Chains A and B, each alone.
Chain A
Amino acid sequence: MDNLLKGNFSTEKAVVDTDSNEESLEQRFEKEALKKLGGSIAFVAKQEVLWNDEDKSKDD
């Protein structure tokens, strides 16, 4: 692409690409809010109790 598109003038100041992957302030707020939004502890489907390794008395 650089071989095809060439400018015909030089800019006075270096151009900074603002369309980068940096998070917006809003996205950062959302991420921080999501961090605090979850439950108290995990949930694991179809499991009840695993008493220990020896008896493998998992009740599911």
Chain B
Amino acid sequence: MSAQNVDDIVKTPAFPSLGMQLVAQMSNITRDRIQDLALENAHNNLAAILNGQSLKALRDIKAGEGDKAIVIAAGPSLKRKKVAEQLLAANYDGAIIATESSMLYCLRQGIIPDLVVTVDPHPTRIVRWFGDPDLSEADLKNDDYFERQDLDTSFSEALRTNDEILELLNKYGQQMRIAVSSSSANTVVTRAHQAGMQVYWWNPMYDDPDQPNSVTRTLLMKNGLPCVNAGGNVGSAAWMMANAVWGKQRIAITGMDLGYYAETPYKNTQYYHEALSLVGEERLDEIYMHIHNPHLDQWFYTDPAYMWYRECFLQMAAHASCQTFNCTEGGILFGDNIHFTNLSDFLTA
């Protein structure tokens, strides 16, 4: 069965699929994968933190008019739904918070976000969103992530796009603020400073800071930075900051599909190689989960990591003191406490 045949797929199988079993383990898998690296980066960033400010300082800076904020993430709907064009046409004057992965999209459209957010500790991939001054043909051969992925597909034209974002960020960096997580790799930190971005530091939460021997609290004591629940990914962290830092009450998210359009080949998904290693080509359908979006009457499919992000987000939305509007107009992020609506409706409300 291919990804195109989703109409025939039963949404809820009689037993948990392999994909759902992985979702249940995703919190532990994530911790095992990133925590040591993230904490090592935090230690290495102690000196660099002195060159920036605490996220706390951002609370004193006004971001946009009114109580609205829009989060721009880099999912496939971002371009399909022409988010930037809609914002510009509506003369939107609320706050704009962008993930680092959507920075190129924003700058190309002439939009300088009020804040860019970055959190993933990956040593080589994340800097690519900023333009990697050291990117070589050999790097591209070693990692085909950007060539395959369906986030910002222009990154598949690697070297040319790398030059473009280098140039754009060098030009506009000084006008931009970025919330850099202490978990960020040295490559990202160096590039942000090099581009002249105004850096605001924060810690992602790793565990409950009220628990004994909390890693989060130990980190806070070490570097003095505020700790933010990042919700598993940079888009959720951006949403969290809109409310927690700037107190925005109506927050729209765009480009946050957390899934793939039905026609997207499996090989263009973010964890294709890993899925292939786990189960082989013939059993890939057991890893991916197909979801019917009732608001759009449309099928999408997702992988265990995105599904986990969805579950995390729904939990965070349930406890949030703001209203959340999912204006992605695609994907799998819907449920209680989320208003699934068009961006145009949010802009005119």
- A residues whose Cβ falls under 8 Å from a Cβ of B: 29-30, 32-53, 58-60
Contact = CB atoms under 8 A, between A and B. Distances in A.
Interface string B226-269: 11111111101100100111000000000000000000000000
B223 to A, nearest CB: 11
A54 to B, nearest CB: 10
B65 interface: no
A41 B126 CA distance: 13
A1 B233 CA distance: 55
B35 interface: yes
Contacts of B245: 49
Contacts of A53: 217, 220-221
Given A37-B278, A48-B316, A50-B226, 18 more contacts: A29-B277, A33-B274, A33-B275, A34-B274, A34-B278, A38-B26, A39-B34, A40-B233, A43-B231, A44-B206, A44-B216, A45-B208, A47-B229, A49-B229, A52-B56, A53-B220, A53-B221, A59-B244
A21 to B, nearest CB: 20
B100 to A, nearest CB: 11
Interface of B: 22, 26-27, 29-35, 38, 56, 119-121, 181, 183, 204-209, 216-217, 220-221, 224, 226-234, 236-237, 240, 243-245, 271, 273-275, 277-278, 304-305, 308-309, 312, 315-316, 319-321
A43 B230 contact: yes
Contacts of A39: 26, 30, 34, 232-233, 305, 308-309
A50 B308 CA distance: 23
Nearest to B241: A49
A58 B205 CA distance: 12
A41 B204 contact: yes
Contacts of A59: 244, 321
B29 A37 contact: yes
A41 B120 contact: yes
Nearest to B308: A39
B35 A42 contact: yes
A32 to B, nearest CB: 7
28 contacts: A32-B277, A33-B275, A34-B274, A36-B271, A37-B29, A38-B26, A38-B33, A39-B26, A39-B30, A39-B233, A40-B230, A41-B30, A41-B120, A41-B230, A41-B233, A42-B205, A42-B230, A44-B205, A44-B207, A44-B216, A45-B208, A45-B315, A46-B319, A48-B319, A49-B245, A50-B217, A52-B220, A53-B220
